[in-house]
Amino acid sequence: MLVDTLPSKKKLETHASLKVSRMKPVIKPSRPHKHAGYHELIFLFDGAGSHTIGDQRFEVVPPSGFYLGPDQIHCWDFSRIPSGFVLMFKESALASYMQSQQVLFNLPNQFKIKDQEILLALLEQFYEAYKQGASDGILYAFLNLILVQTQEFGEQPDHAASSFSEQFLNYKALVNEQFKETKNTEAYARQLNISIKQLQKICKTAVNASPTEVLKERMIIEAKNLLLYSNKNVSEIALELNFSDASNFIKFFKTHSNLTPLEFRGKKLV
């Protein structure tokens, strides 16, 4: 279903930095939506169907996990009732855990769960602690343990990358907030009180990309979301993303996706 604006669900209260819940035992398909301002980790130990994240469709084959960054569009289509856990958290929950911050931006959207028994037991303890109203310190420690446990599921970070993870996450947070209005990476560097050369080194070390590439990737993700899940035309999307005109947006999109916006929309909606 196409809509004028992309729907956003807010399952994490404004004052809260973390939430733990069991996966709902339902198979009703969900509509494409996003969760604004927080990360989401889903661990599934039973169920079947598909999970679409952005323009990628993944088969649900438990035991498996899924990672969603802030504002990523997704939807479920289960054919068997799922069982598992959902962790929602803001980056502030990991402020004291540099290694876990690094794990986050090395995790793929889908990953296979190893050591199922160990992880399931840890998640059960985490869920019980959350229900019993444990302190933030205890809950953050549980979250860190789980992220460390999942580290082997994604690409292994190196020591140098870990030392830059907090600064890189700060840059990504700014990009996520301002990418529609601010397209000059030097402006982001000024907000972070670092030089553009330092920002380049941070991005290179963390994800082997330039600050501009990180910014453009976020713009492409939003453009694809709007093309897939809204009924806005190309000119309206160009305007929303602050391009001077539709032709510049079309050129930008084709350069980074090898398709025009309409070709992409037509291919994905077939």
pTM as predicted: 0.70
CATH 3.40.50.720 fits 160-269, yes or no: no
In the chain, where the domains are located: 8-156, 160-269
- Which DSSP state fits 64? E
Backbone angles phi, psi at 63, to 5 degrees: -80, 130
> How far is CA 141 from each of CA 47, 161, 171, 214, 251, rounded to the nearest angstrom?
28, 22, 24, 29, 46
On the question of a cis peptide bond just before residue 63, with omega within 30 degrees of 0, the verdict is yes
| SS3 state at 70 | coil
Fold for domain 8-156?
Jelly Rolls (2.60.120)
Q: CA-to-CA distance for 245 and 194, rounded, in angstroms? A: 32
Structure tokens at 180: 């529609």
DSSP letter string, 186-253: HHHHHHTTS-HHHHHHHHHHHHSS-HHHHHHHHHHHHHHHHHHHB---HHHHHHHTT-SSHHHHHHHH
Write out the chain's pLDDT in tens, 270 residues: 455 456 566 666 667 889 999 999 988 888 888 877 789 999 999 999 999 998 889 999 999 999 998 878 899 999 999 999 999 998 878 877 777 877 877 788 899 998 889 999 999 999 999 999 999 899 999 999 999 888 766 544 444 444 556 788 889 889 988 999 999 999 999 999 999 999 999 888 777 789 999 999 999 988 988 998 888 999 999 999 999 999 999 999 999 989 999 999 887 655
CB atoms within 10 A of CB 28: 8
